[in-house]
Amino acid sequence: MPIGEIADVCAVRARGITKSFGDVIALDGVDLDVPAGQIHGVVGPNGAGKTTLLGLLLGLASADRGRLEILGTPVSRALAAPDGVAGFVDGPGLYPSLTARGNLAALAALRGPGAPTAGIDEVLEQVGLTDVADDRVRGFSLGMRQRLGLAAALLTRPRLLVLDEPSNGLDPAGKRHVDGVLSQLAADGATVVLSSHRMGDLEALCAEVTIIATGRVVFSGPLSKLAAGNQELDYRLRTSDADAARRLAAGTDGVQVIDDGGMQSDSEVLVVRTLMSALDELVPALVRAGIAVRELTPVVSPLEAAFLALTEQRAEQQEASQ
C-alpha cells in the first residue's frame, strides 16, 4: 500500500522497530498498525517493552532500527513526533506548586496562540476536575493527577493520544469518566493507544490489542480474534437448576465440569471448561431441557487468558532458546 494511503488509514505504522538500552533489547523487530479513530490496547508483562514502545510513539526516543510513521509522518529521530501527538508515560508530568488550572494554563501558553488548543475549562470539565480547578496539584490524589494528565493531553487537541496506565489510581466513577472521554475522543476520529495491566479495562475500551512479551509482538489484532481462538476457557454458569445443569454439561462433548474444591460458595453456580464451539451447543441444550441460564461469564477474561497463554509461551520459548 502506498505511504499516502497508509497515512489515511493508520495513525501508527511501525515496521521492524528495534530499541536497545546497552545490552538490554527493549523492543525486537516490533510491527504495529493502529488504525485511525480506534482505541488500541498494548498489553504485556512488566519489562516487556510497553513503555519503550509508547515512548517511541510520543517521540521521547528514536528506534535503533526499523521504520516508524506517526500520523503519516516518518519519525526517524527523538522529539520529532508530529504535532497532534500527546499523552504520557510513567505518569503525567505535573507541577505540584501550580493549581490544576495553572498547570494547564502554563502548558497552553507554552504552545502559543498559533497551536490548536482546547479551552482549559472545557478539558477540566471533560475529566471531571472543574471543582478542584483552583486547588494546587500538591494535594491531588493519584487518580486526580491521572485525570489532570489526561486533561493536559486533551488540551492539545490530540489526533494520537498515547497513555501509559491511565486508569491507575482511578476509582470506579473516575474510571468510567475517563473511559467515556476516551471513547468520545475515538468517536470523534482521534486515535488512542493505551497500556494497562487491567485486562477488563482494555476489553471494555479497545477494538484491538497488541500483546508484547520480551520485546516482541506475540499478538496484534481485534479482541474478537483473540477470544475466538481455539483455546479452552473457564466459564461461570448460573442456572435455575444447578444439579441438572451439571449432569447435562458433563454429558456434552467438549465440556468439562470443573470441581472447584468448594471455592464456589454459590450452589447455583458451576464452572465449566470448554471451547466456544462446545459452549454454543451447551447453552441451547440447557434451554431445551427447561433449565434457565441466568449468568454465563468467563472466569478469566479471554484477553487475560490469551495474555497469560501467549506470554508464558514466549517466556518458555526464550528459555528453550537459551
Return all residues near 155 (Cβ < 8 A) that are at least 6 apart.
Answer: 86, 104, 107, 108, 117, 118, 120, 123
Per DSSP, the residues of 91-108 read S----TTSBHHHHHHHHH
Return all residues near 28 (Cβ < 8 A) that are at least 6 apart.
Answer: 18, 49, 214, 215, 216
Output the smallest distance, CB 105 to another protein, in A: 8
Q: Per-residue x/- mask for another protein, residues 86 to 105, rule CB under 8 A?
A: xxxxxxxxxxxxx---x---
Output the smallest distance, CB 150 to another protein, in A: 13
Residue 168 binds another protein, judged by CB under 8 A: no
Residue 134 binds another protein, judged by CB under 8 A: no
Return the HEC string of 3-46.
HHHHHHHEEEEEEEEEEEECCEEEEEEEEEEEECCCEEEEECCC
Choices 77-85, 260-268, 276-284, 299-307; region in contact with another protein by CB under 8 A:
77-85
Output the smallest distance, CB 103 to another protein, in A: 10
What the block records as the C-alpha cell of 139 is 494535594
Asked if 30 and 210 touch (Cβ cutoff 8 Å), the reply is no
Output the smallest distance, CB 163 to another protein, in A: 12
Output the smallest distance, CB 252 to another protein, in A: 53
Among 1, 21, 184, 187, binds another protein (CB under 8 A): 21
Output the smallest distance, CB 247 to another protein, in A: 57
Residue (106 or 187) nearer to another protein, CB: 106
The span from the CA of 138 to the CA of 190, in Å, is 31
Q: Which of residues 40-69 bind another protein (CB under 8 A)?
A: 52, 55, 58-69
Residue (44 or 84) nearer to another protein, CB: 84
Residue whose grid cell is 479551552: 119
- Beta-bridged to residue 195, according to DSSP, are 42, 164
Q: Which of residues 111-130 bind another protein (CB under 8 A)?
A: 111-112, 114-115
Alpha carbon 18 to chain centroid distance?
22
Residue 35 binds another protein, judged by CB under 8 A: no
Residue (92 or 302) nearer to another protein, CB: 92
Residue 142 binds another protein, judged by CB under 8 A: no
Among 7, 11, 151, 233, binds another protein (CB under 8 A): 7
The span from the CA of 310 to the CA of 301, in Å, is 14
Among 73, 130, 256, 264, binds another protein (CB under 8 A): 73
What the block records as the C-alpha cell of 259 is 470441581
Output the smallest distance, CB 64 to another protein, in A: 8
Residue (3 or 250) nearer to another protein, CB: 3
Residue (134 or 312) nearer to another protein, CB: 134
Residue 243 binds another protein, judged by CB under 8 A: no
Output the smallest distance, CB 189 to another protein, in A: 14
CB atoms within 10 A of CB 244: 14
Measured torsion, CA atoms of residues 13, 205, 170, 102, in degrees rounded to the nearest 10: 50
The span from the CA of 307 to the CA of 295, in Å, is 24
Output the smallest distance, CB 107 to another protein, in A: 6
For 275, the 3-state DSSP assignment is coil
> Which residues bind to another protein, rule: CB under 8 A?
3-4, 7, 21, 52, 55, 58-69, 71-74, 76, 79-98, 102, 106-107, 109-112, 114-115, 152, 159
